[in-house]
Structure 1
Amino acid sequence: MPPLACHTENELARHLMAGDIAAFDEIYRRYFHPVYANALKITREKSLAEDALQEVFITLWEKRTTIDPEKSLAGWLFIICYHQSVNILRKKLRESLLYKKLPQPEEGSMEEELKYGHQWKILENALSSLSPQRRRVFELCKLEGKTYEETAMELRISKHTVKEYLSAAITSIKEYSLHHPESATVLLPIALIFFQ
Structure 2
Amino acid sequence: MNMDADKDLVFRLHDDDIGAFDLLYQKYHQAIYRNIYKLTKDDDISCDILQDIFIALWEKRAEIKADQSVSGWLFVLSFNKSISHLRKKLREAAVVNAMPFAEIEQEDSSLHLIDDQYYLLHQAINQLSPQRKKVFTLCKLEGKTYEEAAETLNISKHTVKEYLGHAVAAVKNHIHEHQAEWKTAGVLLACYWVGIDQ
TM-score, scaled to structure 1: 0.49
From the CA coordinates, give the structure whose radius of gyration is larger: 1
TM-score, scaled to structure 2: 0.48
Q: Which has the higher contact order (CA 8 A, sep 6+)?
A: 2
